[in-house]
Amino acid sequence: MKRTVKAEIIGVGTELLLGQIANTNAQWISSRLAAQGINVYYHSVVGDNLDRCAAQFRESQHRSDVIIVTGGLGPTEDDMTRDAAKLLFGRELVEDKASMERIESFYDRNNRTMSPNNRRQSLVFRDSIVLQNHEGMAPGMIVHHEGVVWVFLPGVPGEMKHLMENHVLPHFSEQFGLETEIVSEMLRFIGIGESQLEHELYDIIQKQTNPTLAPLASEGEVGLRITAKADSRRTAEKKIKTVKNRILSRVGEFYYGSDEITIQEKVVELLTSNNKTVTAAESLTGGRFIEQIVSIPGASKICHGGVIAYSADMKKEMLKVPSFLIKKYGTVSEECASAMALNAQSLVNSDIAISFTGVAGPETSEGKDPGTVYISLQMGEQEPITKKFQFAGGRETVRTRAVKKGFELLFHNLKKA
């Protein structure tokens, strides 16, 4: 890159501030800018207020080279992105003929009467670069103002992405003479904590220059992002591969995939490749494990169903857990979990079965504290693998962590199969 380009992303909309929707636009735009070698320095969100929006625009004008604004281009009075930018630019807003024709055509095709305020959506700044929005109504714009490149995009993710990919990113490449490629790969690990992962890779992390490494913990697993800069994507990918191989030589047993893959998808992939079917007997998790399995395309080949047996009676009637076993050990026990998995395997005629029983909380049960969970894995005719866990957190957190731990157990044991 000929020079460092400082970028900023501004989301406009009170709904973002209230947490009614997540600002996924900023996340996506940041990743695409990074791939072009443009550094994002700020993420900002401002509500539907003209004064605050204008104040944010003035502040951004003084600190950034590229400013991408999403949202606030609609037809209603609270869509005030154009009005706030007009206070900064001092430029006239004019109707874009092509956009107006597209808006009118939409209403004609759907036999609807267009309200007058919809004309607002076709307004663009005079002398701006108009980005025709073939996915929606309001066009995007690129405005050059006092050495700063402003980009205005609709807040609808599909429309925003279409305009970014087809118009904005090519404009940036030409405008800034971008020569650096920034490429990232997110390695995903399960069964190892963030602190242990950092310990195992301490010297590699300490000596990082290019590529750089960034550990990122999430619920029940940990990610490690590798980011490389080079003059071409191919060279950057080679740099990543070299470091990735060093990392996996140390902690590869915990690695399940890269980038967007989930542990659920990886487990389904392993079951499919091994030609195995799985079922689950669920108590405290209430069907969440099976729900996550069947939400993945192709799951019908490896999962024929499962059993939710919440009460002790259901465990006895549906899963045939012996009454004497429950009386002696309780439903929250290694013995009950093992029996649930074994009998579910037989009931559904599955190669593998997994069971979940425990105390989600908030009250104790059978003298067991909230967070006490037993998970049993029945692999073919092998002896059951039954583990006890003590999860922290509230009721929903315990249930979520139990399901994630179940996928972890399945993953590590399927690798050995």
Q: How far apart are CA 266 and CA 117, in angstroms?
A: 49
Q: Helix 395-416 vs helix 263-273: angle between axes, to the nearest 10 degrees?
A: 30
Percent of the chain that is helix, strand, coil (3-state, to 5):
45, 25, 30
Number of neighbours of residue 281 by Cβ within 10 angstroms: 32
Within 180-260, residue ranges assigned H as helices are 194-200, 202-206, 233-251
Q: Quote the distance between the C-alpha of residue 205 and its chain's center.
A: 25
Q: Quote the distance between the C-alpha of residue 221 and its chain's center.
A: 14
Number of neighbours of residue 318 by Cβ within 10 angstroms: 17
Task: Let me know if 43 is exposed, middle or buried by CB neighbors in 10 A (0-12, 13-18, 19+).
Answer: middle
Pairing of strands 352-358, 278-282: parallel
Amino acid type, 250: R
Residue 178: the pLDDT is 67
Residue with tokens 């000929």: 2
* Inter-CA distances, 60 with 52, 57, 84, 296, 301, Å: 12, 5, 13, 42, 53
In order along its 417 residues, the chain shows pLDDT tens digits of 346 789 999 999 999 999 999 999 999 999 889 878 788 999 999 999 999 999 999 999 999 999 999 999 999 888 999 999 999 999 999 999 999 999 999 888 888 889 989 999 999 999 999 999 988 899 999 999 999 999 999 999 999 999 999 999 989 988 887 667 778 899 999 999 999 999 999 999 998 888 999 898 888 999 999 989 888 889 999 999 999 999 999 999 999 999 999 999 999 999 999 999 999 999 999 999 999 999 999 999 999 999 999 999 999 999 999 999 999 999 999 999 999 999 999 999 999 999 999 999 999 999 999 999 999 999 999 999 999 999 999 999 999 999 999 999 999 999 987
Residue 179: the pLDDT is 63
Q: Rg for the chain (alpha carbons), in Å?
A: 27
Within 283-333, residue ranges assigned H as helices are 288-294, 312-317, 323-329
Instruction: Identify the CA nearest to 69 among candidates 160, 162, 146.
Output: 160
Q: How far apart are CA 83 and CA 95, in angstroms?
A: 14
Q: Is the peptide bond before 215 cis (omega within 30 degrees of 0)?
A: no
- In this structure, what are the phi and psi dihedrals at residue 36, rounded to the nearest 5 degrees? -95, 0
Residue 173: the pLDDT is 83
Q: How far apart are CA 101 and CA 187, in angstroms?
A: 47
Q: What is the DSSP string of 99-166?
A: HHHHHHHHHHHTT-PPPGGGGGGGEEETT-EEE--TTSSSPEEEEEETTEEEEEE-SSHHHHHHHIII
pTM more than 0.75: no
Q: How far apart are CA 125 and CA 99, in angstroms?
A: 13
- Domain architecture of the chain: domains with CATH: 6-176 (3.40.980.10), 181-258 (3.30.70.2860), 263-416 (3.90.950.20)
